Amino acid sequence: MFGLGAKNIGIDLGTANTLVYMEGKGIVLREPSVVAKNTHTGKVIAVGSEAREMIGRTPESIVAIRPMKDGVIADYDTTASMLKYFIEKTVGNSKPSAMICVPSGVTEVEKRAVIDAARVAGAREAFVIEEPFAAAIGAGLPVMDPTGSMVVDIGGGTTDVATISLGGIVSSTSIRQAGDKFNTAIVNYVHSNFNLLIGERTAEDIKIQIGSASVEKAEDIEAVNIRGRDLVTGLPKSVDVKAVDVAHAIQDVVQDIIVAIKETLEQTSPEIAADVIDHGIVLTGGGALLKNLPEIISEATKVPVFIAQDPLDCVAVGTGESLKNIEVMRKNRR
């Protein structure tokens, strides 16, 4: 039986980061979803923060990889090894029940892969919850009430948009345009305009420091100096990058997210659309922190837009809170 003393956990298994929520304790682990492996033996050398430090700095015999891509498992064995490390770090040798979030657009096969990987990693049993629903719970939205709520969860691999009412998702859209695509756009821009090769971590830093969803407001943000490798000479080089140029570079991704939001609103009933106009759209996930994003979305949809409190933690908290319903999910599975 599921008891209060059991070490049951909720896992936000993200493309960029993994968070673990323990019942009664809250979020107990927050690590990058990165694994470093020996390419000759396949042995795992490091996981999480330690492995992330190795990205772009490893010898040929070691590779640092992110086993999750676009919100789903891209490398099953490595994902299982990563989950095993995180579960053991959290609950030791206990075999917990685990609730794991998945993007709303995943297939049954992809859901099954997540459940199987969790069980191989040491979970006694595993259940999945859709990311936007978990995000809505974590953001404190009234998901069980007969009123419509709308959440946009912008993670590393996917953006999940959903309207929610009476404990379920009414309409949803999941696109593989999110934080990673912002980074890729910045890498490509720097490559094309400066003949400079930069890594994923540098692109992430640029996005956090000067990334803006609004080209107009980016003019008020100071440029940053970045370092990389000159593709002409092969030597290290530093250049100044303007926020306006970064804003132009990421516009396609911003517009794709806005289109997904509009499509989700179009799929929903007039009553829920009216509720969303009254209560607004709530942004969660790391992408919610992109400068000027709420204003740009609000301008495009004519709906108020807010950033959730602790947007990075919403999915993990919601996944953990849903552990209360694990007994119901267990019965439904039978």
Binding region for ATP: 15-17, 156-158, 204-207, 286-289
Tokens 């959290």 found at = 90
In this structure, are residues 9 and 78 in contact, taking their beta carbons and an 8 Å threshold? no
Q: How far apart are CA 64 and CA 52, in angstroms?
A: 7
Phi, psi for residue 69 in degrees, rounded to 5: -135, 130
Instruction: Give the bridge partners for 229, in sequence order.
Output: 197, 236
Q: How far apart are CA 47 and CA 79, in angstroms?
A: 10
Structure token pair of residue 172 = 């949803």
**Long-range contacts of 227-231, Cβ-Cβ distance < 8 Å, separation of 24 or more:** 227/198, 227/202, 228/190, 228/194, 228/196, 228/197, 228/198, 228/199, 228/202, 229/196, 229/197, 230/195, 230/196, 230/197, 231/191, 231/195, 231/196, 231/197
Q: How far apart are CA 265 and CA 267, in angstroms?
A: 5
The candidate with the shortest Cα–Cα distance to 81, out of 117, 123, 30, is 117
Q: Strand 62-65 and strand 97-102: pairing? A: unpaired
Count CB neighbours of 84 within 10 A.
18
Instruction: Establish how many alpha carbons lie within 13 A of residue 79's alpha carbon, considering only the half-sphere containing its beta carbon.
Output: 24
Tokens 């607004």 found at = 280
